[in-house]
Structure 1
Amino acid sequence: MIHDMGGKYHHGDLRAELVRVSLDLIAEQGLGAFSVAEVARRAKVSPGAPYRHFPDKESLLAAIAATVACQLADRVQEAVEAESEPVAALAAAAGAYTEYLIERRAGMNIIYSDGLQGPEHATLHEQTRRLTDQFVMLCLTVADRPQDGLELMEQLFTQAHGYGTFYLDGVFTKQGYSTEVVVRKSVEAARAAIEGRTKM
């Protein structure tokens, strides 16, 4: 039982609810708007309630980042499984990243937030590896050399994030681009990058 300004507040899983509310806040207003106090207000709990589950803001942010990495990995896996050949699968993975970033304003900008690199955030690191391993394996499949594969992965993440950021910052919306157009352009750019290093 958690006390709120209006009286008693019951919640089955406050920890999960705080992460969900945080993700919605970031999706609406960006990472700069994130604060424990605002999350508590939106969750309709007292300002101190989140600290019963997360000792500090960094711990809550790590849980948010782990959720982002997990959701991204799921989205990428779904996109990859819809394709039958490696180049198309890898390009689709990049498009899936861009689409998620546009929807949630969350991607590598959240996963690699300052202060989240320590060993205490093991769940985040596990989910991040799951996401990056999907790209690594596909990149190594299409690249001529391992180093080319790693460089390709870096390029694809950079491009995919860039397309999403340009949309969120209004650069592409000024051109009249819809989300679907931006995702398609991200996929096309990824395919061009892949074909520049391909051995297929």
Structure 2
Amino acid sequence: MTPFVTTPRIAVFTGLGMEIILAACCLRRNVYTDNMPMNDNSVNMNAQGGNYHHGDLRAALIEEGLAQISNSPAEKVSLRKIARNVGVSATAVYRHFPNKAALLGALCGVGSVKLSDTFRDALSKTPAGIDAFEIMGRTYVRFAIDNPSLFRLMMTKAPRAEVLQPNQAKETGAFAMLSNTLGDVLPKDTPPELQMVKRLQAWSIVHGLSMLILDGQLPDDEKMIAAVVSRSFL
């Protein structure tokens, strides 16, 4: 078949000739994507992992951020690397998190929820009272050891805990849960000022022990942790 026939005003491409022309055009430009409108949530088809679509991009970015800090310090988190691993453009990341600080703040929030959930799980398996308080103390230390970078991030970037507030009844966060559990074992007539001191003592013990272990000054030893996180200061 003749590749094309010529009329006085127009060349009409037929058969094999048309296929050759179309193939040449595709080599020069991508006819499927060159005219695609810019979309901040569009995926990079060449990205690692082969992701095609994210129903909740913000959640996917946070999940990848958590994955990064599970293997390295929070300071090494890279928004561009997160974009590449999730499979989206850097512009898409910046729409949800305009800078690294915004992402780290979101990771802090996730960490606080994880710690609260860990506390609730521990309390659900323990009777109320002094045993519950000690279990929460050990749970705090174990969470820090199991999530070192996230824990450090939470302690440096999260909003200041309302540790000096005498009444934590309306709070539901991790620190409030620890404080309320301590309040259950203190004498009912304990003055508010002394309650505050006891809360500070409890937090200082579990937090200080956590940091000493994370910094390599003490071993990760369950018996030692249980002995330190005890009722001795009550």
Pick the TM interval, shorter chain.
Answer: 0.7 to 0.9
2:203 aligned residue: 157
1:49 aligned residue: 92
Q: 1:99 to 1:21 in 2, by over 3 A?
A: same
1:29 aligned residue: 72
Instruction: List alignment gaps of at least 5 residues for structure 1.
Output: 119-127
2: CA distance between counterparts of 1:147 and 1:139?
A: 14
2:81 corresponds to 1:38: yes
* Equivalent pair of 2:70/2:147 in contact (CA under 8 Å): yes
2: CA distance between counterparts of 1:26 and 1:72?
A: 16
AA aligned to 2:216 is G
* 1:112, distance to aligned residue in structure 2 (A): 4.5
- SS of structure 2 residue aligned to 1:91: helix
Give per-residue Cα distances to partners, 1:35-80, cap 9 Å, x unaligned. Answer: 3233323323322221122233232222211111111001011112
- SS of structure 1 residue aligned to 2:98: coil
- SS of structure 2 residue aligned to 1:4: coil
RMSD in angstroms over aligned alpha carbons? Answer: 2.7
2:115 corresponds to 1:72: yes
* 1:134, distance to aligned residue in structure 2 (A): 0.6
Q: How many residues align?
A: 177
Give per-residue Cα distances to partners, 1:135-188, cap 9 Å, x unaligned. Answer: 12112222342333332332333332333333333333xxxx4x4x24x43333
Structure 1 length normalisation: TM-score?
A: 0.74
Percent of pairs identical after alignment? 23
Q: 1:155 to 1:196 in 2, by over 3 A?
A: closer
* Equivalent pair of 1:79/1:92 in contact (CA under 8 Å): yes
* Equivalent pair of 1:24/1:104 in contact (CA under 8 Å): no
Show structure 1 runs of 4+ deviating over 4 A. none
Instruction: List alignment gaps of at least 5 residues for structure 2.
Output: 1-40, 161-170
Structure (1/2) with the larger helix percentage: 1
Write out aligned runs for 1:23-172 (5 A).
Answer: 23-105=66-148, 106-107=150-151, 109-114=152-157, 117=159, 129-144=172-187, 145=190, 146-172=192-218
* 1:89, distance to aligned residue in structure 2 (A): 0.7
1: CA distance between counterparts of 2:233 and 2:213?
A: 25
